[in-house]
Structure 1
Amino acid sequence: MAHEYKLNELDGLLAEYDYPVSRDAVATECEDVTLQLADGEANLGETVRGSDADTFASADELRSEVMSLLPRRSVGEPFQSEGEG
């Protein structure tokens, strides 16, 4: 069954893993997870599979890696701050 998450729900999803966790384990378990981005969507399993890291020591490390692999415009307009307004 496919699952869809907004990008701001990523932290909760990644917190469910026991760390350290391997890239392959996360990629396999997330094959059916779609992240809704500001500019489209991305398959989380494919995104993680694109990482050069073999393992992730923490949810923060995995999150940082996922964010670095997503297209730059996926989180909104460049230089846009969520804290303004």
Structure 2
Amino acid sequence: MQDSIKLSRVEPILQDISYPTTRRDAADAFDGVTLLFADGNADLGDVIRTCFTDEFVDSRDLFYELNNALPIEALGEPGQSDGDA
């Protein structure tokens, strides 16, 4: 498994584990993998631990939950508007 991965390329590596899986097992499997954000990074296992779901049916399920658990630094500049002015 890779030591680091860009956020935009994380979905394929989530397929490297067996499903269904628990949040704990998925987090343990990805401990030590650095997830690179637009502004910073985090341990992928730690981010998975912050997901609300206890079990993932497949890699897509984990990917969607992971996106909900990402810190604001993952998406770009903090407080940046989507053009709602």
Percent of aligned pairs with the same residue? 32
Cα RMSD over matched residues? 2.1
TM-score by length of 1: 0.80
- Deviations along 1:4-53, one digit per CA (max 9) or x if unpaired, are 11111211110112211111111111110110000100111111111221
TM score, norm. by length of structure 2:
0.80
Task: Tell me how far apart the structure 2 counterparts of residues 37 and 73 of structure 1 sit (CA, whole Å).
Answer: 7
Query: Would you say the 8 A contact 2:17–2:29 is kept in 1?
Result: no
Q: For 1:5-44, what aligned pairs fall within 5 Å after superposition?
A: 5-44=5-44
Q: Could you say which residue in structure 2 is the equivalent of 1:83?
A: none
Q: Distance in 2 between matches of 1:5 and 1:61?
A: 19
Give the conservation status (yes or no) of the 8 Å contact 1:2–1:32: no
For the residues of structure 1 that align with 2:52 and 2:69, how far apart are their CA atoms? 10
Q: CA deviation at 1:2?
A: 7.5
Paired residue total: 80
Deviation per residue, 1:38-82 (Å, 9 max, x gap): 0100111111111221110111110111111112341235539xx
Which residue of structure 2 aligns with residue 50 of structure 1? 50
2:4 corresponds to? 4
**SS state of the match for residue 16, structure 2?**
coil
